[in-house]
Structure 1
C-alpha cells in the first residue's frame, strides 16, 4: 500500500512474523524493485536500497552519499535529518572533518591490539555474572546481557559502576522512537555535566582507560579538540556500547535457543564461537536501515537519484540477499565467513565493533558450556520484541536451566 506521496511505506522489522530477518515483503522488493521510493515514519520520503551490492556501494561512497542527515532520522523523530550539524556531531560528518575524529577514536578503542587487552576483563565479567545467577527462571537480558554490556563499557572508560545509570538512560532515550528532542536533552545534559568532570579529571590524572587515551590524542592532534567535542565522543561510545551490544547478546542467545542444534554445537566446541558471532551478526543485522543523502545527481541500479534525495541503505536486507549468502534465513554457525554489513561499510563503520565482537564471542564460548541446559522459560510465541526503536530484539528473555557449571578458560 502506498502513501499519499505515492511512496511505499518503509518496511520495518516485524519479529513476531519474521523473528530473525527482514519483513516478509523485503524479499519481493529486493527482487523486483531493488531501489524503491518509500515513505518513512518521520515523514520524509527516501529511496530504499535492498541488494547487498547496492547497499555496500552507498555506504562505501561518502562523496556521493553523505552522512549529514544522521543514521536514523528516517525513523527517530528526535534526530531530524535537516537539523544543523553542531560542534562534535562527528557521526554526521564526512571527509577530512570525520577523519579527524576517527583518528582520535581508533587508537583508543578500535585497534585490535588494544582490544585484546580487554579480553580477560570481559571473560571475568561474564563469569561473575553467570556465578551470580540465581535459580531460574530469570530475564537473561536484565540479569546478564545488560549488566555485561554496561560493566564492560564502565571498565573501558573507568567509570564507577554506581554511575552507569547515566549512560543506560541516555542509550534507552536515544534509540527510542517515542522520545522527542526535549526529552532527549533532559537525559543528555546531566550526562554531559558528569562527563565534563570525568574528562577534566583524566586530563589532570591520565590513566590507560579510553577517555584518557582520547584526551591525550585529542590534545596532540594538529587541530586540538574542544571539550565539547571530547564529551560527545565519550557520550556516543557510552550510549552505543551499552544498548546495541546488550540487545545483540540477548537476540543472539534467543536465536540459538530457537535453533538448539546450533546451541549444541557451541556447547560441544567453544572454538566455534568466533564464526558463530559473525553468523549471528549477519542474521540479526539491524533492520531499519542507515540514512544517507545524495550530494549529486547520480543513479543506483539504473534508478536516477537526484541531489538532495534521501537514501535508506537497508543493511538487514543486504545481509539476507541470496545473491551474497546462500540460504540467508538459515542460522548456520559453521557458515564460511563473509563480509556482512552489521557494522556498516566504508569510513563510517562502527568504531566499537572489535569490542562488540569480543563481548559476543566471549558469551558464545562461555554460556553454552557453563549452562548447557539453558532453555526458554516461556513458549517462543510469548517473547515480546522491542518496537518503535532502531535497536531491535526481545524486550525480555525469560530462561531457565538445571545447573550452572563452574568457570574454566574457554577455547577460542
Structure 2
C-alpha cells in the first residue's frame, strides 16, 4: 500500500503517535476485533486531548522538528529535486489520511452512537491549524506537483515549525514550564486609538526584528490603562504569520531566563519576551538577570529574542526604603535601576489622556461597534464614568463602551 505511515519521510513522527496509529489501523486493518479496539482507543484519546482528529494531525505536523524542516524553511534555501520528492511523498500520504471516507468504518463498528463522527470536524478556530487544513482542502482532489510543494513550503515559512509554532502566545507556569495561551485574542492593532507616534515606533522596531535587522529591546512606560500591554499583544498578533511569538513572564520568573533562552535560541521563530507592569524594590535583585540578558554575552549571540517590558515607573523603581537601607546602598540601587532602563533602546512613554483625547477614543470605539447613542448624552456619561473609575485612559474608555453594550442589551 502506497499510503503506509512507515513511508513518511519528513513527518515520520506521525507514525509514533498513538492517535494517528489507531486511526490508521481503523481504516486499514482487516481483523474486526483489531479495528474495534483501535476505534474506541481513538475516541478515548481524542476526548482526552481535546482536539478533533484533523486538528490533532495538523498540530503534529506544525510542531514537528527535524533537520529537514529546518532546512526547508530557511529563507535562503532553494528546494532540490530530492526535497520535492520527499515533500510530495509525505503530502500524498497525509492528504489520503485527511480525506479518507471513514463513514463505513464507523457504521460497521459503532452504528448506535457514532462517537467518532463528532470528532471528525475539518474546521478549526485555531489560526495555524486552519491554514494547514485550508491547504489540504485545496489539494483534496488535485495531484501534488512542484507548485503544490512550493505552496506548502511557503506556508511553513510564514508560520515556522517546531514546538512554539502551533500558537501565537505562551506563558510560563508556576512550575516554570512553557504552556500555550489557547485563546489569545488581543485587541486589534487598528483598534488601539491615539498614541500614533508610539505605535509607529513600536511597529517599525518589530518589523526590523522579524526581518532579522537591527532592533531594540522596548520599555513602554506610562499610567495604567493607557494601552502599553495591549500594544505589545496586538503587534505580536499583527506579525504572527511572520514567525513572531510571545512568551509572557512575571518578575519572579526572571531567574529562569538562562534556561528559557537556551531552549529557544536555535528556533526558527522570533520571540518577544513580555513582562507586564514590571518594577523592583530595593531588596529585590531579580533585575540582574534581565540586565545581563538584555546586554550580556549570551543574548548578543541570540538574534531571535527581544524583550518588550511595560512599567508604571520611569526607571522601574517601585520603592526606596531610606529608613531601612543605607544611603550608599540606595544610591547604588538607583544607579543600577537607571542603567537597566537605559539598556532598552526603544523607550516609549504613554501619557495619560486629555479629556479631548479620551472622548475621541470613546466615539471611535462606539463607531467601530456601530452603537447608536446621542453624542451629547455619551459625552456626559463618559465623563461621569471616568470620574467613577478614577481617570481617563484607553482601558476606561473601553470599559465605558462595554457598559453601553450592556445598557443596549437591557433595553
Shared fold (TM-score greater than 0.5)?
A: no
* Higher-RCO chain (CA-CA 8 Å, sequence separation at least 6): 1
When the two structures are superposed, what TM-score results if normalisation uses the length of structure 2? Answer: 0.28
Higher alpha-carbon Rg: 2
Higher helix share: 2
